[in-house]
């Protein structure tokens, strides 16, 4: 069979502001199909700057038997249009939709788009493997599909426990020269899956499960070496929810990188309660230059409402540890949490300034499908819109007792201005020669 795996032609906010795109999720599925002797092509529309018409041309010319599409919530409408284009050129073609949004709303996805035949829920490797080998869909756990006009939802599939058993992404099918940042060959990696925490705004555990699983340090290093030596990648962004959740594993990965002498720089994420000085020093020694932290608020009451399970003091300590190790800190902050006052939002901005982190990312509270906050917003009639393209964290989508939607969006803009246009911040950036780079990365997020 012939398969086409498509990343919808949607430009993310990161791509729009920074010009960077990451390795698409379809690259993790392609080698599974190749192992089954299927013919596979990847159409990474964002990386190739392809629009919907370009994608439709690829579908028509390649003429696949199956089209697999991945979609986040903000991408779902464009994913539907890709599915419709696939069916338009051949009604017998099977269309499979996976990713975060279809996983969390499988029945609704099939109802909203008649061109979708199958929804793959959660991790896709074992699902795509069985779809390529089994004709009887009833045998396949983790899918929802149409049968005789009805929507069938099969039993959930357990998460994949042995991540080392999975092949590396199909880099050979990607336009690797297109993945760059500031002229440096760049790639993303996922070294672990699952999240055991309970943040009300995050659906990660609904997608990959609550049990955290990590690749072995040896396997992580092997993948990094493949990127560096085979594809000349010099910068890696590790996209794990919490790369350093297992500190021993993170330390061993760093030791292996140092032992290898791997000429690569990288960034990762950490909760504030999983970071300490010794770990930060290890990360820096291995070439890590930036740690992303979900700090979220400068008010303990708001953190508790978000069920972050962290304290203000832990945030201070973690930021200080990373800064003392001479690494950058990118901190994310959420404004407009239900019940949050304007005074509390002001404290969050002041806290970001007090921490004096390298970059601050301010977003608006966004209840995604599958989260506790989404259920609460529906039950309390808080939604201003259900247009999925607005679920970008940059547009107000729920009611706020303190401000109108426009006032809240302006408040977010002011947060960026107050953080980035501080004389001390500008002077530091001038001294380090990073003024333009920092302003581009920071203020461009809200323009």
Length of the chain: 447
Phi, psi dihedral angles at 40 (to 5 degrees)? -130, 140
- Given this model, what pLDDT does residue 440 score? 54
What would the two tokens of residue 352 be?
A: 């970001």
Packing angle of the helix pair 435-443, 423-432 (nearest 10 deg):
130
- Given this model, what pLDDT does residue 446 score? 47
Q: Low-confidence residues of the chain, pLDDT below 50?
A: 14-19, 443, 445-447
Phi, psi dihedral angles at 417 (to 5 degrees)? -65, -45
- List Cα–Cα distances, 368 to 43, 271, 306, 392, 396, in angstroms: 27, 20, 14, 10, 13
What would the two tokens of residue 172 be?
A: 């050979």
- Domain map of the chain by residue range? 2-146, 180-446
- Given this model, what pLDDT does residue 439 score? 56
What would the two tokens of residue 341 be?
A: 């006052």
pLDDT in tens, 211-268: 999 999 999 999 999 999 999 999 999 999 999 999 999 999 999 999 999 999 999 9
- List Cα–Cα distances, 388 to 79, 80, 101, 200, in angstroms: 12, 12, 10, 19
Query: Which residues contact residue 142 at a Cβ distance below 8 angstroms, ignoring those fewer than 6 apart?
Result: 120, 121, 122, 123, 126, 127, 154, 155, 156, 157
The CA R_g of the chain, rounded to the nearest whole Å, is: 22
CATH topology of domain 180-446: TIM Barrel (3.20.20)
Q: Is 3.40.50.300 the CATH classification of the domain at 2-146?
A: no
- List Cα–Cα distances, 365 to 13, 327, 447, in angstroms: 16, 28, 18
pTM of this prediction? 0.93
Q: Which residue, 179, 207, 188, 3, is CA-closest to 103?
A: 207
Provide the phi-psi class of 153: left if phi over 0, else alpha when psi is between -120 and 50, else beta: beta
């Amino acid at each position: 069979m012939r398969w086409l795996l498509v990343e919808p032609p949607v430009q993310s906010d990161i791509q729009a502001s920074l010009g960077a795109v990451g390795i698409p999720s379809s690259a993790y599925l392609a080698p599974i199909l190749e192992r089954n002797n299927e013919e596979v092509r990847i159409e990474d529309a964002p990386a190739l700057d392809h629009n919907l018409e370009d994608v439709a041309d690829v579908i028509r010319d390649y003429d696949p038997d199956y089209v697999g599409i991945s979609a986040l919530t903000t991408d779902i409408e464009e994913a539907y249009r890709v599915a419709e284009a696939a069916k338009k050129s051949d009604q017998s073609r099977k269309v499979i939709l996976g990713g975060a949004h279809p996983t969390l709303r499988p029945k609704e996805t099939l109802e909203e788009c008649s061109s979708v035949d199958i929804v793959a829920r959660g991790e896709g490797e074992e699902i795509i493997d069985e779809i390529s080998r089994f004709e009887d869909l009833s045998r396949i756990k983790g899918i929802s599909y149409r049968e005789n006009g009805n929507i069938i939802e099969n039993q959930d599939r357990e998460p994949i426990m042995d991540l080392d058993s999975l092949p590396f992404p199909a880099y050979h099918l990607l336009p690797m020269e297109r993945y760059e940042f500031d002229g440096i060959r760049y790639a993303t990696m996922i070294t672990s899956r699952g999240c055991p925490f309970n943040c009300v705004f995050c659906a990660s555990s609904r997608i990959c499960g609550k049990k955290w699983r990590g690749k072995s340090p040896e396997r992580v290093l092997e993948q990094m070496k493949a990127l560096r030596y085979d594809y000349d990648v010099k910068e890696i962004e590790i996209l794990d929810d919490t790369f350093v959740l297992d500190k021993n594993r993170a330390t061993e990965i760093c030791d292996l990188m140092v032992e290898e002498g791997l000429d690569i720089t990288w960034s990762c994420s950490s909760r504030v309660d999983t970071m300490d000085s010794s770990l930060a020093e290890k990360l820096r020694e291995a070439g890590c230059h930036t740690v992303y932290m979900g700090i979220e608020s400068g008010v303990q009451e708001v953190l508790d409402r978000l069920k972050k399970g962290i304290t203000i003091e832990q945030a201070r300590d973690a930021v200080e540890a990373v800064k003392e190790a001479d690494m950058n800190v990118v901190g994310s902050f959420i404004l407009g949490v239900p019940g949050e006052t304007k005074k509390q939002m002001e404290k969050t901005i002041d806290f970001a300034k007090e921490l004096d982190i390298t970059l601050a990312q301010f977003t608006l509270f966004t209840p995604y499908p599958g989260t506790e906050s989404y259920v609460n917003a529906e039950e309390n009639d808080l939604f201003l819109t259900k247009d999925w393209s607005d679920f970008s964290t940059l547009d107000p989508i729920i009611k706020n007792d303190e401000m109108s939607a426009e006032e809240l969006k302006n408040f977010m803009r002011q947060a960026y201005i107050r953080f980035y246009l501080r004389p001390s911040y500008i002077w530091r950036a001038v001294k380090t020669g990073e003024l333009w780079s920092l302003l581009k990365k920071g203020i461009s997020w809200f323009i």
